[in-house]
């Protein structure tokens, strides 16, 4: 047998063994952590190594979770917003260092030093509206409503001086996309990202929308078991508004790896550390956190919203991507499961 064929066969067998081990690990963890359902994909240099669903997408109807189940992404949705801003920069419609007030009318004077780059890297100092009353879906806040409400709060720090995750940053970026493009936020993403990448199972998460294969979101009860999540959620708009499948999301990951959407220079901004005022390293690109796992460079992003959580890990030195979607709220659980899966593929340096 030629050596190349033998080597390919050995790699195939090793991947199959790992896949079985991952199934055993996920099933045991789901049982011990009491997880309703989840979906997983593992990619190697853009190629699918393992994709599967586990548990159930709907407890009441006993619908199994599959690779086609649509879960909400939580904060991982923000990557598409960052992508939209990058595409507008490449089209000459904006600069990363433009003040946000250039695109958003009636912003308060204390926001004058806040730039698009500050929002992209969560260094704006703008108050987070997470868990605050008045921002729920039922209010249908317009751009001006949202700005008026957030403007009541002072900046929490000087723009660029600290990192602090805030959905306010990406909600405002969504409004900037609409202003700079002349389209609605969702129409722009559909035209520039989702349709070109053939992400046909990616949707706005609005609970009123009919979404094929949509997974239900659940919250654990302290007494055991689950309850359906509250559907009058905080409207996270461009910060956490997307629902998708692991199969569709793999197409986005491939776009980050290649040249189908972004220039090389801008593509790297997703995972290039930014600098705080004074020169300290932020370890955050346009959404990705940059760190280490078993000695390997890791780009990570975690999301959580009512009833769902997710984790997205990229290991550029090895070519592996691991992406997990869960219909349970605990974000710490999703990153723990993702790292548990990574242990089967990422060797220590």
Quote the CA–CA distance of 99 and 41 in Å, as a whole number: 38
209 exposure class (CB count in 10 Å sphere: 0-12, 13-18, 19+):
exposed
Fill in the DSSP letter of residue 192: I
- The pLDDT value recorded for residue 280 is 87
- The pLDDT value recorded for residue 17 is 59
Give the three-state DSSP class for 182. Answer: coil
If you average pLDDT over residues 163-171, what whole number do you get?
97
The confidence band for 9, taking pLDDT boundaries of 50, 70 and 90, is: very low
| Superfamily for the 3-342 domain | DD-peptidase/beta-lactamase superfamily (3.40.710.10)
Of all residues in the chain, what percent carry a pLDDT higher than 70? 95
Pairwise pLDDT comparison (281 vs 322), residue with the higher score: 322
The phi and psi torsions of 134 (rounded to 5 degrees) equal: 100, -5
Quote the CA–CA distance of 174 and 178 in Å, as a whole number: 7
User: What is the token pair recorded at 195?
Assistant: 């349709």
Give the three-state DSSP class for 90. Answer: helix
Answer whether residue 29 shows pLDDT above 70.
yes
**Residue 347 Cα distances to 101, 296, 320, angstroms:** 47, 8, 11
- The pLDDT value recorded for residue 14 is 55
If you average pLDDT over residues 17-21, what whole number do you get?
78
If you average pLDDT over residues 311-331, what whole number do you get?
96
Q: Output the average pLDDT for the chain.
A: 93
- The pLDDT value recorded for residue 1 is 54
- The pLDDT value recorded for residue 260 is 86
Give the three-state DSSP class for 179. Answer: helix
- The pLDDT value recorded for residue 10 is 47
Answer whether residue 337 shows pLDDT above 90.
yes
Q: Which residues face 53 on adjacent strands?
A: 39
- The pLDDT value recorded for residue 220 is 92
Give the three-state DSSP class for 301. Answer: strand
pLDDT digits (tens, 9 = 90+) for 205-260: 998 899 999 999 999 998 989 999 988 889 999 999 999 999 999 999 999 998 88
Answer whether residue 3 shows pLDDT above 70.
no
In 3D space, the residue among 149, 166, 171 whose CA is nearest the CA of residue 100 turns out to be 171
- The pLDDT value recorded for residue 171 is 98
If you average pLDDT over residues 62-73, what whole number do you get?
98
* Residue 319 contacts residue 44 (beta carbons within 8 Å): yes
The confidence band for 7, taking pLDDT boundaries of 50, 70 and 90, is: very low
pLDDT digits (tens, 9 = 90+) for 177-197: 999 999 999 999 999 999 999
Strands 308-315 and 320-326: antiparallel
User: What is the token pair recorded at 29?
Assistant: 């963890």
Total-model pTM? 0.93
Burial 107-143 (b: 16+ CB within 10 A, else e): beeebebbbbbbbbbbbbbbbbbbeeeebeeeeebeb
pLDDT digits (tens, 9 = 90+) for 107-144: 999 999 999 999 999 999 999 999 899 999 999 999 99
- The pLDDT value recorded for residue 133 is 94
């Amino acid at each position: 047998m030629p050596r190349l064929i033998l080597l390919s066969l050995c790699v195939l067998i090793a991947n199959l063994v790992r896949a079985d081990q991952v199934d055993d690990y996920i099933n045991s963890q789901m049982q011990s952590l009491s997880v309703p359902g989840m979906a997983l994909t593992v990619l190697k240099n853009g190629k699918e190594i393992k994709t599967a669903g586990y548990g159930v997408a709907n407890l009441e109807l006993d619908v199994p979770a599959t690779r086609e189940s649509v879960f909400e992404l939580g904060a991982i949705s923000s990557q598409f917003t960052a992508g939209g801003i990058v595409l507008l920069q490449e089209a000459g419609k904006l600069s990363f260092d433009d003040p946000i007030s250039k695109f958003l009318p009636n912003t308060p004077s204390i926001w004058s030093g806040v730039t698009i780059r500050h929002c992209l890297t969560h260094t704006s100092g703008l108050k987070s509206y997470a868990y605050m009353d008045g921002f729920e879906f039922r209010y249908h806040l317009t751009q001006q409503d949202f700005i008026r409400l957030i403007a009541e709060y002072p900046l929490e720090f000087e723009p660029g001086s600290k990192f602090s995750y805030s959905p306010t940053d990406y909600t405002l970026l969504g409004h900037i996309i609409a202003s700079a493009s002349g389209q609605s936020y969702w129409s722009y993403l559909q035209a520039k990202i989702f349709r070109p990448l053939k992400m046909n199972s990616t949707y706005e998460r609005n609970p009123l929308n009919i979404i094929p294969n949509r997974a239900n979101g659940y919250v654990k009860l302290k007494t055991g078991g689950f309850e359906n999540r509250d559907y009058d959620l905080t409207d996270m708009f461009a910060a956490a508004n997307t629902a998708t499948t692991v199969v569709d999301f793999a197409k986005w990951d491939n776009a980050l790896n290649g040249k189908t959407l972004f220039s090389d220079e801008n593509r790297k901004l997703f995972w290039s550390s930014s600098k705080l005022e004074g020169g300290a390293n932020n370890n955050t690109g346009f959404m990705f956190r940059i760190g280490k796992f078993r000695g390997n460079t890791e780009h990570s992003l975690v999301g959580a919203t009512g009833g769902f959580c997710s984790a997205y890990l990229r290991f550029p030195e090895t070519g592996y991507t691991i992406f997990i979607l869960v219909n349970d709220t605990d974000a710490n659980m999703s990153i723990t499961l993702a790292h548990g899966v990574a242990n089967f593929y990422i060797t220590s340096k």
